[in-house]
Amino acid sequence: MKVLVINCGSSSLKYQLIDSETEEALATGLCERIGIDGRLVYQPAGCDKIKTDLAMPTHNEAIQFVLDALTNADNGVIKSLDEVGAIGHRIVHGGEKFTKSVVITDEVIAAIEECNDLAPLHNPANLIGVRTCQKLMPGKPNVAVFDTAFHQTMPAKAFTYGLPYEYYEKYAVRRYGFHGTSHDFVSHRAAEIVGKPYEDLKIIVAHLGNGASISAIKDGKCQDTSMGLTPLEGLVMGTRSGDIDPSIMEFIAKKENLDIAGIMNVLNKQSGVQGISQLSSDFRDLEEGANAGNDKAQLAMEVFAYRVAKYIGSYVAALNGVDVIAFTAGIGENAPTIRKMVLGYLGYLGISVNEEENGKRGDELLISTADSKVKVYVIPTNEELAICRATVALV
Ligand code: AMP
């Protein structure tokens, strides 16, 4: 079956058409600047990217252009939309309602809307993608795959904040966690590579991208994860602060004369390694800067790696041990320096790093030595393929 995977944001949209039998992406791309002017990027497998400026006042036009590109006589990858068996949608927040992927019905849409409060920037945009696909491809099954669902197995002791309990009861304030599709995909792949049943392994996944989170898995279930009610908690990220003393918010608000929105903007967009380095949120720039003697770039990398190591240490305690640690996402897959810095803190676990393997890039790698007590892998994530698989399983 061919599955169209859609990740719809407020002004952009990423897509892939995947053949579920071969698990190959037939075409990938994105629509940018929806509602502003509009640009379609379309890349059939094995070909160069084609970029076209096209007026996209709404997501309606954007998705129509994607469908036109996929079926285009010159460089399309399918003859007609009849070949598309189903559409899989990334939905950011499923609250406590959704513990797994579901086929989208009117009731499901209403239930997702009830979670909009928890992800006001993402969920409404995700639903626009759903509704547009329903309109442009009537009768095709649409499936919702939630970023939060994988983490719904966390026990109450892990998801409950030290706040008045009524906030949980009244407003559902608790830890949810994100990047669930990636943590699910990578942890299952890790078990496959190790060749042991998923349920028998203690696995820690470090999804280190521009947004970054860690999860701890035992007995086949997610036991804890670093992101919280929103993706702001946990690790120091590209531009997000991660964990801070909450009192800093009041302190800085007074000093800088900022309101809540201003503070949230600082914590989400001007903090993290970007804020520390005052240089870039991109680790390629940070490494280059640090190598050229930029102390703040060096410090940003150290703060990042130290926080990752502290989280791994705390999750080893939460799991009472660890069998496998897996690095994934942009930094996890491509930044050997950061992996080495993180693993440098974990010698006490009996981890020993194979420097040569760690120096490689790009594919699945075992980066611990044969005698290391914990197996450490680099496993490229593939959220689109995970969404495709979840979609096929349901339709
Ligand atoms: P993601 O959010 O998973 O797409 O990750 C994006 C981030 O990965 C970028 O902002 C960079 O910080 C990092 N990244 C990507 N490629 C490299 C690389 N070759 N070396 C170091 N960091 C990289």
The residue type at 219: D
Tens of pLDDT along 212-229? 999 999 999 999 999 999
Region of 38 please: left (phi>0), alpha (psi -120 to 50) or beta. left
Atom 15 (ligand 1) nearest CA: 330
pLDDT higher than 70, residue 362: no
Tens of pLDDT along 315-357? 999 999 999 999 999 999 999 999 999 999 999 999 999 999 9
Q: Which of 74, 147, 200, 259 is catalytic?
A: 147
Minimum-distance ligand 1 atom for the alpha carbon of 338:
21
C-alpha torsion angle, residues 249, 254, 260, 266 (rounded to 10): -60
Q: Which residues of 173-197 are buried (b: 16+ CB within 10 A; e: fewer)?
A: bbbbbbbbbbbbbbbbbbbeebeee
Nearest to 223 by CA among 152, 148, 174: 152
Q: Residue 64: exposed, middle, or buried by beta-carbon count in 10 A (0-12, 13-18, 19+)?
A: middle
| DSSP of 183-249 | HHHHHHHHHHHHTS-GGG--EEEEEESSSEEEEEEETTEEEEES--SSTTSSS--SS---S--THHH
Unique residue bearing structure tokens 């079926």: 71
Say how many Å lie between the CA of residue 196 and the centre of ligand 1: 30
Unique residue bearing structure tokens 């020993």: 352
Say how many Å lie between the CA of residue 272 and the centre of ligand 1: 14
Tokens of 257: 């004369």
Tens of pLDDT along 183-210? 999 999 999 999 999 999 999 999 999 9
Say how many Å lie between the CA of residue 327 and the centre of ligand 1: 13
Tens of pLDDT along 9-52? 888 999 999 999 999 999 999 999 999 999 999 999 999 999 99
- pLDDT for position 190: 98
147 annotated active-site: yes
Specify whether the CB–CB gap between 299 and 276 falls below 8 A.
yes
Cβ neighbours of residue 114 closer than 8 Å, sequence gap 6 or more? 95, 97
- pLDDT for position 43: 98
- The average pLDDT across 73-102 equals 96
DSSP-assigned letter for residue 153: G
Minimum-distance ligand 1 atom for the alpha carbon of 210:
2
Ligand 1 pocket test: which of 147, 240, 277, 282 has the largest number of ligand atoms within 8 Å of its C-beta?
Answer: 282
pLDDT higher than 80, residue 361: no
Ligand 1 pocket test: which of 207, 283, 304 has the largest number of ligand atoms within 8 Å of its C-beta?
Answer: 283
State how far the Cα of 255 lies from the Cα of 58, in Å rounded to an integer. 41
**Can you give 98-146 as a three-state secondary structure string?**
CCCCEECCHHHHHHHHHCHHHCCCCHHHHHHHHHHHHHHCCCCCEEEEE
Tens of pLDDT along 164-179? 999 999 999 999 999 9
State how far the Cα of 181 lies from the Cα of 387, in Å rounded to an integer. 7
**Which helix (H) or strand (E) element contains residue 157?**
helix 156-159
pLDDT higher than 70, residue 63: yes
**Strands 2-8 and 84-91, sheet pairing:** parallel
Atom 10 (ligand 1) nearest CA: 282
Q: How confident is the model at residue 121 (pLDDT cuts 50, 70, 90)?
A: confident
Minimum-distance ligand 1 atom for the alpha carbon of 208:
3
Say how many Å lie between the CA of residue 117 and the centre of ligand 1: 30
Q: What is the mean pLDDT of the chain?
A: 96
Other residues' Cβ atoms within 10 Å of the Cβ of residue 110: 9
Minimum-distance ligand 1 atom for the alpha carbon of 361:
19
Nearest to 112 by CA among 100, 124, 121, 103: 124
Say how many Å lie between the CA of residue 5 and the centre of ligand 1: 22
Ligand 1 pocket test: which of 334, 342, 379, 382 has the largest number of ligand atoms within 8 Å of its C-beta?
Answer: 334
Residues with CB under 6 A from ligand 1: 209-210, 238, 281-284, 329-331, 334-335
pLDDT higher than 70, residue 161: yes
Specify whether the CB–CB gap between 281 and 269 falls below 8 A.
no
Say how many Å lie between the CA of residue 334 and the centre of ligand 1: 7
- pLDDT for position 26: 98
How far is residue 67 from each of residues 31, 33, 90, 136, 352, measured CA to CA in Å?
A: 12, 18, 18, 9, 49
